[in-house]
A and B are shown apart, each in its own frame.
Chain A
C-alpha cells in the first residue's frame, strides 16, 4: 500500500486544517469578537455603533454552509484517528462527541441569542474554543502518529 504517499497527503491536510481553524478564528475575532458584549451586539445590534440586529434569515444563510462543512471536516479529521493507536479508546470516543457537540452549539447558539436567551453568547464563545481545541488536539494526535510512531 502507498503508505508514504498517504502520509504526505495527511500531513498537508493537517497544515490546511491549521489554516482553516486559524482563518475561522480570525473571522470570528474580526466580525464578532470574543467578549460576551461583542457577541450580543453583533447579533442583537448596537445603537452606539449603529449596528443593526441580525435576522433569522441572515443567520440561516451563514450557518447553512457551515452545517455541511463542520460535519464533513470533523468526520474527515477524526476518521484518520482510526489509523492510529488511539483507535477504540475512550479518548477517541470522547473526542468524537466533543467535536460534534461543540460544532452543534457553535452553529446553533445564535438562534437562541436572537430568541432572547442572552447567556447563549457565553455558549457561543465557549463552544467555539472547545471546537477549535478538540480539533487541534486531534490534529496533534495525527501529527504525532505520522512523525513519531
Chain B
C-alpha cells in the first residue's frame, strides 16, 4: 500500500519550513513528504522541534516561512478550523463535564446533523475502541488508557484525512502503553488514515511507524523505515539516540580497512584518506561471540572486564591490549554464557562482522 503510493503525489508535503521564536530557531528549513495511509513518527529528544513541526502542520503555531500542502492544497496560512485533521494529546484533553458519548459526538454535532445519525456514529466509534458500554461515564471515571482511547475516537469521529498524535501514550503506565501501541497501530492500519505521531520514545517509534523522522536541534537527521534507521543510522546522533551503540576511536588504513587499537578490521567505508581519525560504531548485539575460530577476519581477543545481568541476556564490557584504550560492550545470551562458562576476567575471542561496523567521520564525542 505504502509502496504503491510512492509514485503518486504525496498526501502531505512540507517544503522549506522554518519556525523562529525570537532569536531561537525551532525548525530550520524542514522539507518532508508523507504519503496517503502512511504512519510517520517524529522522533527526537525534547526541544528537537518535533512538536513544533506537528503544531505547524495543524496550524496551531504558524511557521515563520515555508509551505505546507495537504492533498494538493496549500494550507500554509489556514487557521486550524480550516484544515482537515484530528488531534490527540498526551493530556487526553477530554472535556471533563461531558460524558464519553458527548465527547465523541462533539465534532459531529452541527445544524445539519441528524440526531439518530450522530448517535449511530458514536456507537460505531465506541464499539471500535471496545468501549461500547461506557458511553454514559465521565472522563474522570475512566482509567488513563480508556481516556486516551476515547480521545482517539473523538479525533476520528469526523473521519479526518490526517490524524495527529502528540505523545499520546507518554502519560500512561508501561504495560498499558505497550498494549495501546498495538491497538492504535491496528486501528490506523484498518482505517488507512494518514497519521503523524510525535514521540521521544524510540521503542514506540520502532514498533508503530512505517517511517521514522529523526530530529535534532530543529533539523531532520534521518528519514527511513524503522529497520533502516536502526541498522544504518546516518549519523552518530541517530545511532546513539536509537538503541545502544559502541562508539570507539579508530583510524582509516585504506578504503575498507580501519585500525582499532592493534587490530585492523575490514569495514564497508571508503572515501576517507588513509590516516583519518574516525569513529567506529557497532551495536552490542552485533558483536559475535559464538563459534569464533582464530584466524577468521575481524576476530579480536580480549578479556571480560565486567558483566551485568539484564534478565534475558548479559552485557559484557570487553577490553584488552588488542583493543588499545577502547572498551566494547557486547550482549551475550544467558544460554551461551552458561554453555561456554563465560565469566568476569576470562579471556574471550569475538568477531566484529564487517557489514555491521559503521564508520563516522571525526573522533567520538564523549557522551
Asked if A and B bind, the verdict is no
Interface on B for A, CB 8 Å cutoff?
none
Q: Which residues of A contact B (CB under 8 A)?
A: none
